[in-house]
């Protein structure tokens, strides 16, 4: 398994006013790795025996596939179903698949969940717990030798966002801009989207961007597993703790199947095979998701969306 393939499921969301912006075609994009396609099994003739799973890349596509592979194959064995994986480059695309019923289960970010819950009844299932807590942060990172010590020093620089629906990779730095009375187009010389947290980290490490905002768990795992990439990087800002990105299911999924999937995740830490899988992905266990714990993210994103709508 590639070292960075172990990157956490995190790092694995409220209002329709923003969704049109999420899909806009003029967003700058830097593709550091070619996306791949994958299916955990061949297609089954009977769709009732297939569980369709969507992955929105927290890490670049090839590494995400290795990361999810064992977890999903084990889920398929537990359910007695084939697993068909559909991988997309953006959270917006995954939400669309969930809305239209083209997938049953998905790993998405916090803001994507909040948007889906509000717009079409997306259902929260479980969240991962790491180091005893179901929380994560946004890290704003720069190179050690950049001379940048705080967020305001990024004025006139090149910045990498991850995804327009990412709490840690987009909304938190947007909130910092709001607190400084400015916007991305006024503040940065240039900005672009990488559509994965590991690619944002690579963009800073390779000098493509001066700074980036990334998922804390992705960064810390890469720091541990691939120190050569991160040793020349430093964190200049940290967000408050945010409730973890969830595992969700589409509305209308049969109740018995939904309960079986939920029980699978909740019981992983109680089984030897499940414990091995959890250790590999850096998760203590999965716990039931609690909608009200996303309130702080909801409030922050509301402020950003309202402010950006006025500009």
Model pLDDT for residues 115-140, shown as the tens digit of each residue? 999 999 999 999 999 989 999 999 99
* 307/238 Cα distance (integer angstroms): 22
Whether the CB-CB separation of 98 and 248 falls below 8 Å is answered with yes
Candidate from 177-181, 226-230, 271-275, 279-283 with smallest mean pLDDT: 279-283
- List 123's β-bridge partners, or say none: 249
Give the mean model confidence (pLDDT) for residues 173-195: 96
- Mean pLDDT, the chain, whole residue set: 84
pLDDT for residue 261: 98
Res 38 pLDDT > 60: no
Res 213 pLDDT > 80: yes
Long-range contacts of 60-65 (CB under 8 A, 24+ apart): 60/32, 60/33, 60/35, 60/196, 60/198, 60/199, 61/33, 61/35, 61/36, 61/87, 61/89, 61/196, 62/33, 62/36, 63/2, 63/4, 63/5, 63/7, 63/198, 64/5, 64/196, 65/36, 65/38
Whether the CB-CB separation of 178 and 35 falls below 8 Å is answered with no
pLDDT for residue 11: 33
Candidate from 65-74, 95-104, 205-214, 296-305 with smallest mean pLDDT: 65-74
pTM: 0.81
User: Using the 8-state DSSP alphabet, how is residue 106 labeled?
Assistant: E
Res 221 pLDDT > 90: no
Domain 3-130+245-291 has CATH 3.30.70.20: no
Res 13 pLDDT > 80: no
Question: Do 3-130+245-291 and 135-242 have matching folds?
Answer: yes
> Judging by DSSP bridges, how do beta strands 233-238 and 242-243 pair with one another?
unpaired
pLDDT for residue 35: 37
Model pLDDT for residues 223-238, shown as the tens digit of each residue? 888 899 999 999 999 9
- The residue assigned the tokens 């999810």 is 68
Whether the CB-CB separation of 111 and 164 falls below 8 Å is answered with no
Higher model confidence: residue 2 or residue 308? Answer: 308
Q: H or E stretch including 299?
A: helix 295-310
Whether the CB-CB separation of 217 and 130 falls below 8 Å is answered with yes
Q: Which of 207, 178, 203, 201 has the alpha carbon at shortest distance from 307?
A: 178
Domain positions in the chain: 3-130+245-291, 135-242
Q: Which fold has domain 135-242?
A: D-Maltodextrin-Binding Protein; domain 2 (3.40.190)
């Amino acid at each position: 398994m590639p070292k960075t393939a172990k990157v956490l499921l995190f790092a694995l969301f409220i209002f329709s006013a923003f969704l049109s912006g999420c899909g806009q075609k003029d967003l700058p994009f830097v593709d550091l790795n070619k996306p791949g396609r994958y299916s955990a099994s061949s297609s089954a003739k009977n769709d009732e025996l297939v569980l369709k799973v969507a992955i929105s890349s927290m890490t670049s596509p090839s590494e995400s596939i290795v990361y999810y592979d064992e977890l999903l194959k084990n889920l398929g064995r537990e359910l007695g179903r084939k697993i068909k994986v559909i991988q997309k480059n953006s959270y917006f695309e995954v939400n669309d698949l969930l809305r239209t019923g083209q997938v049953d289960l998905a790993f998405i970010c916090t803001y994507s969940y909040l948007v889906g819950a509000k717009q079409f009844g997306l259902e929260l299932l479980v969240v991962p717990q790491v180091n005893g807590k179901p929380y994560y942060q946004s890290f704003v990172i720069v190179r050690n030798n950049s001379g940048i010590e705080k967020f305001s020093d990024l004025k006139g620089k090149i910045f990498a966002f991850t995804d327009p629906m990412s709490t840690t990779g987009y909304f938190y730095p947007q909130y910092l801009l709001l607190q400084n009375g400015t916007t991305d187009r006024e503040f940065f010389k240039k900005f672009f989207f990488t559509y994965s947290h590991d690619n944002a980290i690579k963009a800073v490490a390779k000098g493509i961007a001066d700074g980036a905002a990334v998922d804390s768990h992705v960064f810390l795992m890469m720091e541990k597993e691939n120190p050569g990439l991160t040793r020349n990087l430093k964190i200049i800002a940290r967000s408050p703790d945010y409730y973890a990105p969830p595992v969700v299911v589409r509305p209308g999924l049969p109740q018995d199947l939904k309960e079986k999937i939920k029980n699978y995740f909740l019981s992983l830490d109680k089984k030897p095979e499940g414990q091995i899988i959890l250790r590999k992905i850096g998760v203590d266990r999965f716990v039931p998701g609690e909608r009200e714990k996303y309130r702080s993210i909801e409030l922050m994103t509301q402020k950003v969306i309202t402010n950006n709508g006025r500009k």
